[in-house]
Amino acid sequence: MILSHSNPNRPQLFFMTILLSLKNAFPGIAATSAAINVLAMTGSFFMLQVYDRVIPAHSLPTLVGLGVIAATLYVFQGILEFIRSQLLMRVGMSVDERFGRVVYQSLFIQSNHMQTPDDGLQSVRDLDTVRGFLSGLGPTALFDIPWMPFYLGLCFLFHVWIGVTALAGAVTLVALTILAEHKSRQPAKEAAEVSTERLALAQSCRRNSEAVLAMGFGHLLGRKWADVNRRYLDNHFSSISATISLATLSRILRMMLQSIMLGVGASLVIRQEATGGTMIASSILMSRALAPVELAIGQWKGFARARESWSRLIRLADVIPPTRKEVVLGRPTEILTVENLHLAAPGARNTIVRGIAFELRSGQALGVIGPSASGKSSLGRGLVGLWQPVAGTVRLDGAAVSQWGPQLLGTYIGYLSQDVALFGGTIADNIARHDPDASSEKVIHAAKAAGVYDMVVQFKDGFNTRIGEQGSVLSAGQRQRIGLARALYGDPFLVVLDEPNSNLDADGDKALSRAIMGIRSRGGIAVVIAHRPSALEAVDKVLVLEDGHARSFGWKDEVLRRTTQS
């Protein structure tokens, strides 16, 4: 990833990164911009000819001819402007294609590699911001600013004082651009950071609305919201005020410069050192020369936001592993080995699981028990590869789980988290893990293995029942059983179930035990994390965790007897 180790807050590096990103489209956009800037002189030279040739000669045919030529050139300029805008839109789309995989993977991977203060969707907003900026007017200034010396040179050709006036105006506007960067950079950065905190709080309030309303502490959260919102508005106002003030000043200055240029031209006409046409043409020419700088100032807010978004995307690309061609390992069939495993929460230093080691063979099931905060759920996340080990290794058939790609490894693993999360769609979609090519036979097989087939067919639409966002149509127990069927879809070799019976009734407990026995009978391995003893009915081994350490491990009856006696 280019410039991934550079300081992305420096505007010149951001512009350089954009230019490097445009390297394939650069020749076409540069050539189009060159033609546009040449055609932009049409107005100046039309007025020059009108004042110096048409009016003194009183020639209407010449005026009509010049008008036709000017109109034709304006049409060509408009067509080229349209082509350039289309090219820039394609550039924005190419950036989306380039970062699309990274952004999509970040929705799943980032939260398991680092602590994120936002709602997890910041990368999507960042990509939209960068694409929107590159597809808009901002980048056109990059291609028009290099033509400023050309226009200023033409002004000097008209007369030295006309050139000096145009140069002074250009220097002043460039100074305003630098001032805009200096004044808006820090407030814009702080506003973006507070905006992330603000959106995260809003999402939390929305997710926990029932608890907030039921326990009546909405007014307390309201104070926190007011504080965060005030800080956001303060920084946002500072950033916007700086940009708008300087943009307004630049417009006023530009209008003043046009009048000053007319005044300089008029004085030269009075002294008979220039013609009336030169006076009007130089004013138009200077306006065109300074337009890119004024455009850059006007687009500075979008530039600042795109720069911050770009820097976050670059950092995100360093976190998301690149796609590379690897040797594909086969399906594991024999053994799960955990070697001296140490785990910590993403972004944290303190380990939660310490020195865990055990071995399970095909056809075995392990129950993991222990008090709250003993590391049971953390161990489950480590077994399926969600959390990367601080030390130690998890192996399947002797190979570390990291040797399989996430997509392939997922087909060999079933996982039911403590907080069951379903997606909008049908029951069949959720059981099949949203595989559009899933066969009905595999979906029904998973449903029967989880003991939910009879429950599902009782719904009016059966497997085609739409369950709403996050399974809102279903009860907590139904969501858990559908989640179990999803974990068993495709007969995975390793199935890790975290509190799989927390919302189940007696019938659900029996179905869970049958499901675990089914995993064992087909040669798979099951790991069941539980508080309720009923979840351990079908396991043959037990691991007792205490403060992240393995207190006891072995055959179920033996371990439970020792645990009860102690």
Does residue 447 contact residue 491 with C-beta atoms inside 8 Å? no
Question: Given this model, what pLDDT does residue 526 score?
Answer: 93
Whether residue 425 is contained in a domain is answered as: yes
Residue 523 backbone zone (phi > 0: left; psi -120 to 50: alpha; other: beta): left
Task: Kindly state the percentage of the chain with pLDDT values over 90.
Answer: 19
Domain limits for position 371: 335-565
Whether residue 5 is predicted with pLDDT greater than 50 in this model: the reply is: no
* CB contact set of 19 (below 8 Å; sequence gap of 6+): 26, 142
The SS3 of residue 213 is helix
φ, ψ of residue 555 in degrees (nearest 5): -65, 145
Do 295 and 368 lie in one domain? The reply is no
Whether residue 24 is predicted with pLDDT greater than 70 in this model: the reply is: no
Which stretch of 1-15, 165-179, 197-211 has the lowest confidence by average pLDDT?
Answer: 1-15
Average pLDDT over residues 71-77: 91
pLDDT band at 441 (very low <50, low <70, confident <90, very high): very high
Q: Which residue has the higher pLDDT, 245 or 483?
A: 483
Do 315 and 342 lie in one domain? The reply is no
Whether residue 327 is contained in a domain is answered as: no
Whether residue 360 is predicted with pLDDT greater than 90 in this model: the reply is: yes
Summarize pLDDT for 344-355 with one digit per residue, the tens: 887 778 899 999
Whether residue 163 is contained in a domain is answered as: yes
Do 179 and 208 lie in one domain? The reply is yes
Do 166 and 312 lie in one domain? The reply is yes
The SS3 of residue 331 is coil
Do 190 and 241 lie in one domain? The reply is yes
Average confidence score pLDDT of the chain: 81
Q: How many CB atoms lie within 10 A of CB 537?
A: 17
User: Of 84-88, 163-167, 239-243, 361-365, where does the model show the most confidence?
Assistant: 361-365
pLDDT band at 401 (very low <50, low <70, confident <90, very high): confident
pLDDT band at 9 (very low <50, low <70, confident <90, very high): very low
Whether residue 542 is contained in a domain is answered as: yes
Tokens 């130690």 sit at which residue? 392
Question: Given this model, what pLDDT does residue 516 score?
Answer: 92
Indicate which CATH number applies to the domain containing 294. 1.20.1560.10
Indicate which CATH number applies to the domain containing 529. 3.40.50.300
Q: Which residue has the higher pLDDT, 564 or 164?
A: 164
Final residue belonging to a domain, choices 319, 343, 373: 319
Final residue belonging to a domain, choices 295, 319, 343: 319
Summarize pLDDT for 102-160 with one digit per residue, the tens: 676 666 665 555 555 555 677 777 888 888 787 777 788 778 888 888 888 888 888 89
Question: Given this model, what pLDDT does residue 120 score?
Answer: 62
pLDDT band at 336 (very low <50, low <70, confident <90, very high): very high
Question: Given this model, what pLDDT does residue 22 score?
Answer: 57
Pick from 33, 36, 14, 35: which is nearest to 25 by CA?
33
Please report which residue ranges of 341-403 form alpha helices under DSSP H: 376-383
Whether residue 123 is contained in a domain is answered as: yes
Do 467 and 349 lie in one domain? The reply is yes
Whether residue 365 is predicted with pLDDT greater than 90 in this model: the reply is: yes
The SS3 of residue 532 is coil
Do 65 and 170 lie in one domain? The reply is yes
Do 307 and 249 lie in one domain? The reply is yes
Average pLDDT over residues 33-47: 85
Whether residue 511 is predicted with pLDDT greater than 70 in this model: the reply is: yes
Whether residue 386 is predicted with pLDDT greater than 60 in this model: the reply is: yes
Q: How far apart are CA 318 and CA 4, in angstroms?
A: 7
Summarize pLDDT for 269-298 with one digit per residue, the tens: 888 888 888 888 888 888 887 778 777 766
Q: Which residue has the higher pLDDT, 416 or 48?
A: 416
Strand partners, 393: 339
Whether residue 471 is predicted with pLDDT greater than 60 in this model: the reply is: yes
**DSSP code, position 504:** -
One-letter amino acid at 318 equals: D
Final residue belonging to a domain, choices 285, 319, 353: 319
Do 313 and 355 lie in one domain? The reply is no
Question: Given this model, what pLDDT does residue 4 score?
Answer: 36
Whether residue 325 is contained in a domain is answered as: no
Do 315 and 366 lie in one domain? The reply is no
Whether residue 330 is contained in a domain is answered as: no
Q: Which residue has the higher pLDDT, 23 or 51?
A: 51
Question: Given this model, what pLDDT does residue 453 score?
Answer: 92
Question: Given this model, what pLDDT does residue 496 score?
Answer: 92
Q: Which residue has the higher pLDDT, 326 or 138?
A: 138
Whether residue 19 is contained in a domain is answered as: yes
Question: Given this model, what pLDDT does residue 443 score?
Answer: 92
Q: How many domains does the chain have?
A: 2
Question: Given this model, what pLDDT does residue 103 score?
Answer: 72
Q: Can you spell out the DSSP letters for 76-139?
A: HHHHHHHHHHHHHHHHHHHHHHHHHHHHHHHHHHGGGTS--SS-S-HHHHHHHHHHHHHTSSTT
Do 520 and 559 lie in one domain? The reply is yes
Do 305 and 339 lie in one domain? The reply is no
Question: Given this model, what pLDDT does residue 446 score?
Answer: 92
Average pLDDT over residues 552-558: 89
Summarize pLDDT for 181-238 with one digit per residue, the tens: 677 677 777 777 787 778 777 777 776 666 666 667 677 778 888 888 888 888 777 7
